[in-house]
C-alpha cells in the first residue's frame, strides 16, 4: 500500500555532506542511525538527525534539491570549518558527487537533469502504490562556489548534472560575499555569473549579502530562486529576506523555500543557550513565515519548502514538534488553519518548485 504522504519537493537538503562528513548511512531507518551515533560527541547534532532516505519516503519527499558543499577557510572569518585551498574543496565536492552516484547505482536515488526527467519522475511518484521501492529524485545544487577553482569549472560541473548554483555561503567567499559579510561580487564573481548564465544554471541567491543579492538580480538574466530563506520582518537578520527582496524575487518568477533552522525562526536566538522548547519554535512558527511571504505577495505562487534539515544541526535546532523530515506533513493542517486552500498547500509542498524547475531545466 502507498506509504505516503502527498508529494513533497524539498528544495534544500545536504544529503552527501551528512553521509560523508557525519558518516551516516542514509539508507538506514533514522532510529538505527541515531543508535549508531550514541556516545559520539564530536558534533552537537549527534543522535539528533532528522533525515534519512526511508524517512524522506515516509514524508513523500520523492524529489529534492541536494547539495554539494565545501567552503574555503578565510583567515579573517571562520565560524565554520573550511578547506585550505580551492583544489581541496573541489575534491571534497567530487567525493560528495561520488556518494550520489553510489546511491544511484543502488537504486536509492535518481539524478534529475532535464525537464523531461522531472515530469517522468514526478508522475511515477504520484502514480506508484508503493513509494518505498522508488528512488528519490534529486536536482544537484552547489551551495557556495568556493570549491570551483575557476569559473570555467562550472562547465565540468554542468556536465556532471549540476543545475543550480549559490555563489556564497557564510562570510567572505572566493567569488561573492555571504551571510554576515558586506559588499558585492568581485571580478571573479562577475565572471562566474557570466559563465553560469551561458550554461543556464539556476542562480540561488541564498546566503548572499544584500549588495550581492541586488547585483545578482540586476545582472543575471537566467532563472533565479532562494532555496532556503525566512522572513526578515519576523526575524531581523541579514540572512533573511526583507519584503522588498521577496517582491523582487516574485517579479523574476522565483520561488522561496522556507527553512527549518530554528535560529532563522526566532529573533534573538543564542547558539548553545536558546532551545526550540524555550523559544517556543514549532511548525506553527514555520507556517507563520510561509503566511508572511504569501501575504506580502498576495498569493501562494512563489513559496515552497527548503527545509535545510540536518544542515549541520539536528532536533536541538529544529522546531520542537519535529522529530524527522516526515513531520513536515504536519504543516498542511497548520496552513489550512491559516486559510490556505488544498490547492495552495499543494503549490507550497511541490507545485511551485516543480513549475520553476520545469521551466528552468533543459528540455
CATH number at residue 69: 3.20.20.140
Q: 107 lies in a domain?
A: yes
Q: 71 near 173, Cβ under 8 Å?
A: yes
Q: 1 lies in a domain?
A: no
The confidence score (pLDDT) of residue 3 equals 47
- E strands present in 5-135: 9-13, 63-68, 109-111
* pLDDT digits 0-9 by tens, 270-290: 988 999 999 999 999 999 999
Q: Which phi and psi (to 5°) does residue 258 adopt? A: -80, 135
- E strands present in the chain: 9-13, 63-68, 109-111, 136-143, 162-166, 202-204, 224-229, 256-258, 303-305
Rounded distance, CA 228 to CA 312, Å? 14
Q: 2 lies in a domain?
A: no
Q: 4 lies in a domain?
A: no
The confidence score (pLDDT) of residue 4 equals 57
For residue 313, is pLDDT > 80?
Answer: yes
Biggest CA-to-CA distance, the chain: 55
* pLDDT digits 0-9 by tens, 30-84: 999 999 999 999 998 999 999 999 999 999 999 999 999 999 997 665 566 899 9
* pLDDT digits 0-9 by tens, 229-254: 999 999 999 999 999 999 999 999 99
Q: Per residue in 278-292, is it b (16+ CB within 10 Å) or e — as a string?
A: ebebbbebbbbbbbb
Q: 309 lies in a domain?
A: yes
Q: 298 lies in a domain?
A: yes
Print the domain residue range for 205.
9-360
Q: 210 lies in a domain?
A: yes
**Number of structural domains, the chain?**
1
Q: 3 lies in a domain?
A: no
Q: What radius of gyration do the chain's Cα atoms show?
A: 19
Rounded distance, CA 102 to CA 87, Å? 23
The confidence score (pLDDT) of residue 79 equals 60
| Global confidence as pTM | 0.97
Rounded distance, CA 188 to CA 274, Å? 39
Amino acid at each position: 500500500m502507498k506509504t505516503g504522504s502527498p508529494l513533497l519537493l524539498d528544495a534544500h537538503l545536504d544529503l552527501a555532506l551528512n553521509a560523508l562528513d557525519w558518516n551516516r548511512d542514509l539508507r538506514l531507518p533514522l532510529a538505527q542511525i541515531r543508535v549508531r551515533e550514541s556516545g559520539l560527541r564530536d558534533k552537537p547534532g549527534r543522535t539528533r538527525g532528522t533525515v534519512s532516505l526511508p524517512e524522506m519516503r515516509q514524508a513523500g519527499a520523492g524529489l529534492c534539491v541536494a547539495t554539494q558543499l565545501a567552503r574555503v577557510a578565510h583567515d579573517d572569518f571562520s565560524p565554520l570549518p573550511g578547506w585550505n585551498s580551492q583544489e581541496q574543496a573541489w575534491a571534497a565536492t567530487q567525493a560528495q558527487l561520488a556518494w550520489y552516484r553510489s546511491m544511484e547505482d543502488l537504486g536509492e536515488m535518481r539524478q534529475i537533469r532535464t525537464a523531461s526527467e522531472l515530469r517522468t519522475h514526478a508522475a511515477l511518484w504520484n502514480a506508484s502504490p508503493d513509494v518505498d521501492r522508488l528512488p528519490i529524485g534529486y536536482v544537484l545544487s552547489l551551495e557556495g562556489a568556493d570549491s570551483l577553482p575557476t569559473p570555467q569549472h562550472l562547465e565540468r560541473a554542468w556536465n556532471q548534472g549540476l543545475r543550480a548554483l549559490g555563489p556564497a555561503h557564510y562570510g567572505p567567499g572566493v567569488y561573492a560575499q555571504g551571510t554576515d559579510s558586506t559588499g558585492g561580487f568581485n571580478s571573479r564573481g562577475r565572471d562566474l555569473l557570466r559563465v553560469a548564465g551561458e550554461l543556464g544554471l539556476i542562480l540561488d541567491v541564498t546566503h548572499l549579502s544584500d549588495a550581492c543579492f541586488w547585483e545578482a538580480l540586476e545582472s543575471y538574466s537566467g532563472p533565479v530562486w532562494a532555496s532556503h530563506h525566512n522572513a526578515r520582518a519576523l526575524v531581523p537578520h541579514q540572512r533573511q529576506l526583507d519584503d522588498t527582496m521577496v517582491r523582487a524575487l516574485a517579479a523574476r518568477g522565483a520561488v522561496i523555500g522556507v527553512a527549518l533552522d530554528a535560529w532563522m525562526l526566532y529573533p534573538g536566538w543564542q547558539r548553545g543557550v536558546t532551545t526550540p522548547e524555550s523559544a517556543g519554535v514549532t511548525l506553527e512558527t514555520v507556517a507563520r513565515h510561509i503566511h508572511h511571504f504569501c501575504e506580502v505577495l498576495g498569493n501562494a505562487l512563489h513559496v515552497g519548502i527548503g527545509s535545510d534539515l540536518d544542515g549541520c544541526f539536528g532536533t536541538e535546532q529544529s522546531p520542537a514538534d519535529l522529530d524527522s523530515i516526515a513531520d513536515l506533513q504536519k504543516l498542511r493542517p497548520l496552513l489550512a488553519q491559516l486559510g490556505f486552500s488544498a490547492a495552495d498547500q499543494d503549490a507550497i509542498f511541490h507545485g511551485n518548485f516543480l513549475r520553476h524547475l520545469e521551466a528552468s531545466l533543459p528540455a
